[in-house]
Each structure stands twice: as structure tokens, then as C-alpha cells.
A and B are shown apart, each in its own frame.
Chain A
Amino acid sequence: MILARLVPAGVVGLILFFLAFPIVVVTVVSFSEATYLTFPPPAFGFRWYEAYFSNPDWLNPTWVSLWVAAAVVVLATSLGTLAALGIARLPKALRIFATGLILSPLIVPGIVVAIGIYYAYSHYGLVGTPIAMVLAHTCLAVPFVVTSVTASLSGIDPRLEQASLSLGATPGATFWQVTLPLIRPGVLVGALFAFITSFDELIVALFISGTGAVTLPRRMWDDLRFQIDPTIAAVSTLTIVLTVVLMGAAHLLRKRSPA
């Protein structure tokens, strides 16, 4: 039809190639047998994955990142879900203030958040501790939980909760047996986003991870300053696979949920 004649498929194809190609190259390079970065690789193998899995300098930051992200999921999902349940019923002025505060990490430039947190946390001796990473990453992850759960809540038929209440269920029972099962996909999507937000986060980590809580992105950054050895390609490929699986799950969950 008309749109087809305006935009040749070749042009769209080229732009899509531009989008996908860098990711493909990193993945292919990670399976290279060469000791330096070259494309296409002369031979394929797993030597850079072996290098990654046998080096505590890479594995320790991986564990730190996974633990921090797991803690962020628990904290951000519980705080965010509770807030999402209440926020729509707040008085107007308070609702606007709360929404603005909770969503602001999405638009405040990362460097401003990072140095603000660094400024305050260093006063309390938190810099370089995994706890500081969890506390800071939770602030960045919460907006995704709140928006995702709010979207789920707005898709619920309010009569279901009313029916439960009028049939004699306590508000607590109504929440656990009616509301929560209905918003579960939204809560799960929020939890997945929270995990990825923390796992991929670099700017805050640059300032507050210190030497005691080096995360995987921070380790990659430090390494890139000195060399671009293909171990980073292997690490990148692993994180791409992890995020794509989790985000793909979130995408499918959201499409299936009523909201």
C-alpha cells in the first residue's frame, strides 16, 4: 500500500541492520580463538568464556552484581507494589508530588543522581559497601515497579474487589485472594525490570562501589580503560543473553496481562 511505496524496504532493512549488527559482532567476537580483537575471527572456540569462568577478578564482581540485583528486586518490588496500591487514592496534591518524586529518576540525568548519592552516602561511610549499592539501585528501580503495577491495577475490574468485600472477605483477604493474583503479572514485570536496572547500572556504581563492592559493569569499565581484550566480549554476550531472556519474559508477561 501507500506506506510501502514511500519507504523502500531496503532503507528500513539497512537501518535495522545498523541496530542489530553491533550486538551480533560482539557475540561473534566472543567465540573467537584469536588473542586480539579481529573480525571475522580466524577460528571459533570458548577460550574467552574459559578465561572469564576461571578468573576470580571477573567472577567476584559477577556475584556482587547478582546479589545486589536480587536484594534490589526484593526491596523495590515490595516498596513499589505497596505504593502503587495507594497512590491512585491519595489526595490530588499529594498524588502529584508522590508521582513526580517516584518517577523522577527516569528523567534526572544519571550523573546528577550518582554524584548526589555519592555526596550524601560518603558522609555516612556507606561508599564501597554492597548495602549502599542496594539502597541506591532501589531508587532507580522503583519507577519501573510502580508504573508496571499501576498499569496492572488500572486494568482490574473494581467490581471484583467490591464483590469480595460485600461477600464478607476482610480487606486483607481481598488483597491476597483477589487483588494480588490479578496484578501478579504487573508485579513480576516490575521485578524483572528492577533486576535488569540494577544489574546493568554503571554510573552510580562508578562513584559508590569503591573497592569493596565492585559490580560487573564497573569491572568491565575498569578493564576497558586499559585494554579491549575479548574477555569483555564474552562477558557482554553473557549479559546480553541474560537481559534478553528476562526482558523477553517481561514483554510476553505484559502482553498477556489484562492491562
Chain B
Amino acid sequence: MSEIAQPPPIAVPLGSVRPLLRNWRRHVPMLLVAPLLIYMLVLYALPVLAMLLRSVNDPTWTLSHYTALFEDVVFAKTFWITLNTSVTVTLGCLVLGYPVAMGLVRAKTMAPLILVVILLPFWTSVLVRSYAWMVLLGRHGLVNEALIALGMIDRPIRILNTPLATQIAMIHILLPYMILPIANALRQIDPSLIRAASGLGATPFMTFRQVILPLSMSGVAAGTLLTFVLALGFYITPAMVGGPRDITLSMLIAQEVEQLNWAYAATLSAVLLATALAILAVARRLPGVGNAFRMSMR
């Protein structure tokens, strides 16, 4: 081994040029990434940070904007509505998403069709999907017409512009984010484990409870956290189909910016951002979740 080790650096005549060239080569990765890094810093990160800074330096350095939140009734109500909506929507996605993920994984000939049905709304913009729910849930919308035709109600009920409309539309929009990570986890379960369980006399429910569910937990956790974090920041859907008084944190931020209350808007933004980042920081530590997360972000 030692005989064929690296040749000694005897390139004396070129000594003055080579190290320089070699150094230049070493900086190639940095030179490739630098344009994008500078771009993102100048046009995105620094603008957001400058805005967030207004929460602590308006009019002078102070934490009063944050301490004021503790007595702020509007903030408390908005934060509660945002959390409440996000939890409801995430649970709804979980209940509806798990069976579909199982259906997607077990299907053979139907699998491409199921995937298209999942991806079609996934690829459609949030604005268009929220509009679709405006059409469906309106006073003379299809849902009201159907309920009347079925004799369940006598006259149109108010669904559009209620929290229920926000929840339905958000579940519809976020469902694929729950289905795809769970399906990924289910796909990785060794089928022989399931055969072994039933071969040993487990009922289908016991197999599900004791084999399938535990082995799919990384996908469930990833889907749940992803859905929840995305739900926290929702703006367009609650603004379009939600109730006029059921304001989410994102809507409150937008309102405050319109009134040019930058300090307050920045404080709320910092709270929203910190909540999202805290959840993601926890998520990354859970075993298997980080991986499932990365898969579903692509």
C-alpha cells in the first residue's frame, strides 16, 4: 500500500500556479451556490427579517408588542380560531386520508386512476378549489339543492361563509398532503408480516391494530404535522369561504397591513412563523418522520 501512495508534491516549476488553480477549483461549489444565496437573501430573507424587526423596534427597541399580546382579546380569539381550525382540518384529513391511502396501496389495476383522482385537485390552485366550494356551498348551490331534494331541509341553509365551509374546503385542499406520506409508509410494510399475522390467527382488525397501524405511524406523523403546519398559515380559503367574523391569524395579519399597523402585523407574523417552526423542529426529531417529510415535499 505504502509504495503506491500519493506521489510526493514535486511539481516545483509549476508550484506558483498550481495551488492557485487548485484553490480556485475548491471554491467552485461556493461560486455555483452564491448567486442563488445572494438572490434569496436580498429579495426574500432580508425583506422578511426587516419586516419582522418592526415587532421589536417600533418606535424604539421594545418587547411591549409581544407582552401586549397576552392581554389582547382580538389576538387570543384569532389564535384560538386558527388553532381550532387547523386541528379540526388535520383530524378530518387523517380520518378521510388513511382509508384512501390504504385503498391506493392495495389497488392494482385501479391504482393509476386513484392516483389521478388524488393528484388532480392537488395540482389545481388553491384559489380555483376555494372557488369550487363557493359554487357548491352557496345559498342556491348544489349541496343545498341536494339537501332540499332529499327532504332533509325545507329551505336553503347557510353553509358558505361559516366555519364549516372553511373546514370542508381546507380538508379538500390539504387531503393529498395527508394521503401521500401515509401511502408511502404503507407501501414499505413487508406483506409477509401481514400474512404472518393472519396465518397466526389474528382477525383483520387485530392485524390492522397491531401490525399495519404501528408500522405506518411515521407516515401518519409526517402527514399530520405537514397538514397542520400548512393549515396554520391558510389565508385564501378562509377569506373566501369562511365567516366574516371567523378571522384566522393570516387574515388578521393582512388586515393590519392594510391599516399600515406594521408593528402589530410583524408581531403576529413572528408568532405565526415561530409556531410553524416549532412544530417542524419537533417533527424532525421523531424517528422516520424526517424522511417521510422529505419524500412528501417533493
Contacts and interface: CB of A to CB of B under 8 A. Distances in A.
A108 interface: yes
A88 B254 CA distance: 38
Contacts of A221: 127, 236
B134 A224 contact: yes
B280 A107 contact: yes
Interface string A101-133: 111111111111101111111000000000000
Nearest to B251: A111
Interface in B131-153: 131-136, 138, 140-142, 145
B1 interface: no
Given A19-B172, A109-B250, A120-B50, A2 B207 contact: yes
Nearest to B27: A86
Given A20-B117, A90-B29, A115-B265, A7 B103 contact: yes
Would you call the interface of chain A mostly helix, strand, loop, or mixed? helix
B81 interface: no
A183 interface: no
Interface string B24-37: 00001111110111
A54 B146 CA distance: 35
A82 B29 CA distance: 9
A25 B134 CA distance: 11
Contacts of A39: 135, 141-142, 145
Interface stretch (A45-53, A55-63, A66-74, A134-142): A134-142
B219 to A, nearest CB: 15
A101 B37 contact: yes
B204 interface: yes
Contact of A244 (B50, B120, B138, B198): B120
A38 B142 CA distance: 8
Contact of A228 (B43, B103, B134, B254): B134
B100 A108 contact: no
Interface in B63-92: none
B32 A86 contact: yes
B282 interface: no
The B interface, classified by DSSP as helix, strand, loop or mixed, is helix
A138 B35 CA distance: 13
Interface string A1-36: 111111101011001101111110110010000000
A83 B121 contact: no
B61 interface: no
A112 B272 contact: yes
Interface in B275-298: 276-277, 280, 297-298
Interface in A208-240: 217, 220-221, 224, 228, 232-233, 236, 239-240
A121 B141 CA distance: 41
Nearest to A103: B297
B254 A111 contact: yes
Given A16-B117, A18-B172, A113-B44, A7 B99 contact: yes
B99 A15 contact: yes
B48 to A, nearest CB: 3
A203 interface: yes
A82 B135 contact: no
Contacts, number: 247
Given A82-B36, A107-B229, A147-B298, A6 B204 contact: yes
B47 A220 contact: no
A109 B52 CA distance: 13
B159 interface: no
A19 B233 contact: no
Interface in A76-113: 79-80, 82-83, 85-90, 94, 98, 101-113
A217 B51 contact: no
Contacts of B96: 15, 18
A246 B57 CA distance: 45
B207 to A, nearest CB: 6
Given A16-B114, A109-B233, A203-B236, A5 B204 contact: yes
B48 A85 contact: no
A141 to B, nearest CB: 11
11 contacts: A7-B102, A22-B136, A37-B135, A82-B33, A101-B40, A105-B44, A107-B229, A109-B273, A113-B44, A116-B49, A117-B44
Nearest first, the 5 closest Cβ-Cβ pairs linking A and B are A109-B233, A86-B32, A120-B47, A116-B48, A12-B103
Interface of A: 1-7, 9, 11-12, 15-16, 18-23, 25-26, 29, 37-39, 79-80, 82-83, 85-90, 94, 98, 101-113, 115-121, 135-136, 138-139, 142, 146-148, 151, 196, 200, 202-203, 206-207, 217, 220-221, 224, 228, 232-233, 236, 239-240, 243-244, 247, 251
Given A119-B54, A146-B36, 20 more contacts: A16-B114, A16-B117, A22-B121, A22-B172, A39-B145, A80-B36, A83-B36, A90-B33, A102-B40, A107-B229, A108-B273, A115-B257, A117-B43, A120-B50, A142-B36, A147-B297, A196-B123, A236-B128, A239-B124, A247-B119
